Amino acid sequence: MADTCFRCHGPDKSSRMANMRLDLREEAVKSNARGRAPIVPGNPGQSEIVRRIFAENPSLLMPPVSAHKTLIAAQKDTIRRWVAEGAVYEGHWAYEPLRRGATTASIDGFIAAKQHAAGLSMSAEADRATLIRRLALDLTGVPPAPMEVAAFVAGEPYENVVDRMIASKRYAEKQAMHWLDGVRYADTAGFHGDNPFPAWPYRDYVLRSIHENQPFDQFTREQLAGDLLPAATPAQKTASAYNRINRVSAEGGLQPKEYLAKYAADRVRTTATVWMGSTLGCAECHDHKFDPFTARDFYSFKAFFADIKETGLVPDRGPKAWGALLDLSSEQDRARRAPLAAAVEASKKAVEAKRAASKRNEKALLGAYENGSLAWTYQRPVAASATKATLKVYNDEPAPGNIGEAVTEPKPGEGLIVASGANPDNETYTITLEPGAGRWLQLGIQAMQDESLLGLRIARGSDRLMVSEIEAALLPEGRKLRFSTAASSIRFQAPEQHPMNAIDGNPQTGWGASTYGDAPVTSLALRFETPLATTAQSRIVVRIRHDSEFRKATIGRLRLALSKGLAMPVSEQRGAKIQTGLSAAVVAALKKSKSKRNDEDRQAIVAALDWTSLAMEESLTALKRAEAALGAVDAIAPRVMISESVKPEVTRILNRGNFMDDSGAIVEPAVPAFLGKVSGTRLDLANWLVSRDNPLTARAYVNRQWRLFFGAGLSRVLEDLGSQGEWPTHPELLDWLANEFVESGWDRKHITKLIVMSKTYRQASTGAASEKDPENRLLAKQNRWRVDAEVVRDIALSVSELLVERFGGPSVRPYQPEGFLAALNFPKRDYSASRGDDQYRRGLYTFWQRTFLHPSLMTFDAATREECTVNRSASNTPLQALVLLNDPTYVEAARVFAQNAYVSGGAPEARIDWAFQRAVGRTPTAGERAVLLDLYKSGLRRFDSDPAAARTFLDAGEAPRSSTPTAELAATMTVTRAILNLHETITRN
């Protein structure tokens, strides 16, 4: 009836028809004005609903044709019988108190009873090799190592394996994957610019909580209200990031009230889904149509979160970015930081003192600008080359202008250098200048935006420039030129990408440009240690090194300049001359009377006077060095968004969810009225969620856990235990497990162990389901399914022994197709794949870009986590085939897998057996071996006749290579690649 009747005759008064309500018995048996009642218990003939559902006349028939809901004959008969038997109403199962069940009860007992009633029985236990692979994939997400399989097959007790796996960190990683889907944890903001926000320490909190088997009730309290706990620890505050990792927007022009309403609604939906298995979110605009949640309940629930400090527009850059943050630096980090911070403060004081002591002459500065002695002289290079790329110099020839203008006119290049062709991760440009006779104080580099470049449009394949070192030498003397100080034109220079890094002799550090890049030109000025005298014969060789960890962070278009004065690095808007050595903003500020200057003007003038005064140089450089050192430490300090409690905002019921409507009643925090009477803070909400008064949390949790081990929940609709969900196949079992969860002190590992120790879990999964139970809901055998997206990756990396296991830490970036982020903006983005160990981490640690989740994960149904997800689908698509066949991650895994197979020794057949065993935990059948051997031989023929192709094929990925790339190895790689592509490899049987 919930499905067919309650839309019009249910809880929602706004859509109720004929003033008739059938979801409550006292309402349904009431007579109307004409003396008729919808239901007359014991008397179907007198009951209006029975008459109407059997009506011949279409105008009387219920449900009406227009509802597109049909009752089949058996359903009609059931309703008639139910009325005849007295129309007994029971509350909806999920809202009733937990039933304890007999002390002797067990999972197998409940399952066997139902099977018996249906004439079914349990299957035999799965074979040992299958069983341990199943267990390993379910509990740890990583397939068992060959030794583990061998030990188990040889008789290691099952319970030992279970205990070992549950105790492993891998178990926490596997469980966390699912929890993080529910709480929509990700690494980016999710709306609009979708910029990275500091969230990963929360992920690590979840990992540790699961690993340490923290009781679930405390886990609940810490996430919802960790900040409200007395003497909250950093870990508890970190947990409260739960309330902050919802999607947020930094789009200019958004209406704060609208977005605050969106954020709050997200929290209600997520909390209700994860903890209560409820669709309370449906009541945002109206009373729930099918469950007893009212709109008032929705807003009362929302009011629990009204104390969280937040803004509608959440800044995604600058000092206020992301609101309340917690610095999680370790004691050692802090100890390391303190003297650096002190040095910065001391240097600042020294600079101030110097400023006060030195003569500051604004007039002289303006004069120098006006008479041209501050100017930059563009250099026309006589040669330019790069390690791999092609550098083309445009001196007097017209350069293709391309800076996002509608129409671009080719103009003389004036020394423009354009990089094209090969685009390696690291690159060094060598440029030779012939400046003519002169005496120079500074070298300048100007990076030009180009619409054809990705990212900020200044780098060739990254969202930032990263110049790790600039070196120069004077020829023919062969004298190395040293620089004393450096400055960039960037207004908000990231401290860890300080210009000083480009002249510090350390290739690990660099000068970076990663602002929003509104200006088409970004400049760097370098001052020579001693003035440089050149003759007509002199040449200057400048080497620009891009050696940092950022890939392809190389300048796309640049000009070099020299200055005879102390020119500023200038970054102007389109069209303006930038050779002047002083920005238009500074000039304008200097020309204003002092009383008319604003803070920005004053700061600009101070900076210009500082840079153009040699007397200031020493103290300023000391300050810059101190800032760069501090910036490097600060950049790696872990931070996390946390909940911070302030005076609660007033919460009103929004009519139809309309944020602009302020007329609704004010509500206080409260749990849904039909479930209890609890008010107060987020902590009170958390306590109620894990109290005996609320039966939903334990049911929702164990139902989700059940799915992880059987492929479907006892009630399949994990996100909705309400009346539109599914009645559980085994309600007593669900309750018994839920009760066990509560009684055990909310012991998560206990529930897992109970499930995997059961006979039900250990059954074989082979064969088709019984005709009596085509969907195998009675579990007369185990189920099979393709593993989750992250595990698909983990299997390939583990089998090929590429997997690098490190528990927690900042998110990592697996290889990703170029240009995948091209539709992002503010700022434009490109991707720099992690290097070394971080390339081979578990899928769980992938940088979770909400609006552009990594395409391999996405293809295997990983949740984008824009919204709470508790039930991922498991699709089977051609794009999945393309990923396993062609994604460099999997090609590289096949290559390294082949190297290992090769090292394992023996004839091709032996290698095949070894690899097959390694991937799926069993030896191949004769038929399977023959297929792989054919593939091998045919590959061998091809690669023998084309050694270059073999070398290319074996060139996949960055992991260490075997020293002898041979046709045999390449042919072995076709075999390992086929094995990694098997359905069985990515299936849990």
User: Which positions from 732 through 771 interact with other proteins, judged by CB under 8 A?
Assistant: 765-768
Of 147-155, 369-377, 589-597, 815-823, the segment contacting other proteins by CB under 8 A is 815-823
Q: How many angstroms separate the CA atoms of 198 and 516, rounded?
A: 19
**Does 938 participate in binding other proteins (rule CB under 8 A)?**
yes
Q: Which is nearer to other proteins, 39 or 448 (CB)?
A: 448
Smallest distance, other proteins to C-beta of residue 287, A: 13
Q: What single DSSP character describes residue 965?
A: -
CB of 864 to other proteins, least distance (A): 6
Pairing mode, if any, of strands 390-394 and 785-786?
unpaired
Q: Which of 398, 817, 836, 906 binds other proteins (CB under 8 A)?
A: 817
> Do residues 859 and 792 lie in contact, with contact meaning Cβ atoms separated by under 8 Å?
no
Residues between 328 and 347 that touch other proteins (CB under 8 A): none
278-306 residues labelled b (16+ CB within 10 A) or e (exposed): bbbbbbbebbbbbbbbbbbbbbbbbbbbb
Q: Please, which of residues 706-725 interact with other proteins by CB under 8 A?
A: 716-717, 719-720, 722-725
Span interacting with other proteins, options 42-50, 460-468, 544-552, 867-875, rule CB under 8 A? 867-875
Residues 654-713 that bind other proteins (CB under 8 A): 660
CA distances from 23 to 50, 333, 658, 795 (A): 15, 61, 28, 49
Binding mask 517-556 for other proteins (x = CB under 8 A): ----------------------------------------
Angstrom distance (rounded) from CA 908 to CA 901: 9
What three-state secondary structure class fits 931?
helix
3-state secondary structure of 533: strand
- Cα–Cα distance for residue pair 23/283, rounded to 1 Å: 17
Least separation in angstroms between residue 67's CB and other proteins is 9
Q: Does 964 bind other proteins (CB under 8 A)?
A: no
Provide the edge-to-edge strand list for the sheet that holds 469-475: 383-386, 427-433, 539-546, 469-475, 479-481
Asked whether position 853 contacts other proteins by CB under 8 A, the answer is yes
Q: Residue 236: which residues within 8 A CB-CB, separation 6 or more?
A: 222, 226, 227, 229
Q: How far is the CB of 250 from other proteins (least distance, A)?
A: 11
Residues 386-405 close enough to bind other proteins by CB under 8 A: 404
Q: Mask: binding to other proteins, 137-176, rule CB under 8 A, as x and -? A: ----------------------------------------
- Burial profile 148-163: b = 16 or more Cβ within 10 angstroms, e = fewer: bbeebeeeeebeebbe
Cis before residue 638, ω within 30 degrees of 0? no
- Of the candidate residues 78, 233, 877, 904, the single one contacting other proteins (CB under 8 A): 877
> In degrees rounded to 5, what are phi and psi of residue 841?
-85, 165
- Among 170, 970, 972, 988, contact with other proteins (rule: CB under 8 A): 970
User: Using CB under 8 A, which of 442, 811, 869, 899 touches other proteins?
Assistant: 869
d(CA 975, CA 703): 40
Check if the beta carbon of residue 741 is closer than 8 Å to that of residue 702: yes
In the complex, what is the shortest distance from the CB of residue 881 to other proteins, in angstroms, rounded to a whole number?
4
Task: Please identify which residue in 644, 735, 928, 968 interacts with other proteins, judged by CB under 8 A.
Answer: 928
Q: Round to whole Å and give the CA distance between 173 and 808.
A: 9
Options 483-491, 640-648, 697-705, 882-890: segment touching other proteins (CB under 8 A)? 882-890
Q: Work out whether 60 is an interface residue with other proteins (CB under 8 A).
A: no
254 sits near other proteins (criterion: CB under 8 A) = yes
Segment contacting other proteins by CB under 8 A, of 109-117, 243-251, 364-372, 685-693: 243-251
Applying CB under 8 A, does 879 fall inside the site for other proteins?
Answer: yes
CB nearer to other proteins: pick between 68 and 480: 68
CA 268 – CA 256 distance, rounded (Å) = 18
602-641 binders of other proteins (CB under 8 A): none
Cα-trace Rg, the chain: 34
Nearer to other proteins, 140 or 782 (CB): 782
Among positions 106, 645, 691, 981, the unique one binding other proteins when judged by CB under 8 A: 981
Q: Are 568 and 582 in contact (CB under 8 A)?
A: yes
Cβ contacts of residue 603 below 8 Å, gap of 6+?
none
Q: Which is nearer to other proteins, 249 or 446 (CB)?
A: 249
Select the span of 173-181, 427-435, 476-484, 858-866 touching other proteins (CB under 8 A).
858-866
Q: Which of 17, 382, 636, 882 binds other proteins (CB under 8 A)?
A: 882
Among 711, 951, 958, 961, binds other proteins (CB under 8 A): 951
Q: How far is the CB of 765 from other proteins (least distance, A)?
A: 8
Q: Is 406 helix (H, G, I), strand (E, B) or coil?
A: coil
Tokens linked to 685? 């909400």
What are φ and ψ of residue 522, in 5° steps? -120, 130
Residues 349-378 that bind other proteins (CB under 8 A): none
CB of 411 to other proteins, least distance (A): 18
Distance CA 737, CA 563 (A): 78
The DSSP line for 821-843 is: TTT--SS--------GGGGGS-G
* DSSP-derived secondary structure for 166-178: HHSHHHHHHHHHH
State yes or no: residue 258 binds other proteins (CB under 8 A). yes
Q: Cα 984 from chain centroid?
A: 28
Instruction: Determine the residue type at 387.
Output: T
x/- contact string, 784-813, with other proteins (CB under 8 A)? x-x---------------------------
Which of 535, 904, 925, 964 lies at the binding interface for other proteins (CB under 8 A)? 925
Specify the DSSP class assigned to residue 196.
B
Task: Tell me the sheet residues that pair with 812.
Answer: 846
Closer residue to other proteins (CB): 169 or 652? 652
| Binding to other proteins, residues 469-528 (CB under 8 A) | none
Stretch that binds other proteins, among 201-209, 379-387, 906-914, 972-980 (CB under 8 A): 972-980
Considering the complex, what minimum distance in angstroms separates the CB of residue 465 from other proteins? 19
Sites for other proteins among residues 175-214 (CB under 8 A):
191-194
| Contact residue for other proteins among 314, 891, 893, 896 (CB under 8 A) | 891
In the bound state with other proteins, the residue whose beta carbon lies nearer, of 590 and 891, is 891
Kindly tell me which residue out of 6, 171, 185, 290 binds other proteins, with binding defined by CB under 8 A: 290
Task: Select the residue interacting with other proteins from 252, 319, 505, 905 (CB under 8 A).
Answer: 252
Binding of other proteins at residue 942 (CB under 8 A)?
Answer: yes
Cis ω for the linkage preceding 827 (within 30 of 0): yes
- CA pair distance 370, 620, nearest whole angstrom: 25
Q: Tell me: does residue 426 bind other proteins (CB under 8 A).
A: no
Q: Is the Cβ of residue 273 or residue 643 nearer to other proteins in the bound state?
A: 273
Binder of other proteins out of 826, 909, 961, 962 (CB under 8 A): 826
| Least CB distance to other proteins at residue 877 (A) | 5
Classified as helix, coil or strand, 257 is helix
Q: How far is the CB of 239 from other proteins (least distance, A)?
A: 24
**Residues 269-288 as x/- pattern, contact with other proteins by CB under 8 A:** ----------x-xx------
Structure tokens at 94: 């999920």
On whether the CB atoms of residues 727 and 1 are closer than 8 A, the answer is no
Q: Residue 909 carries which side chain, given as an amino acid letter?
A: E
> Which tokens belong to 245?
């990792």
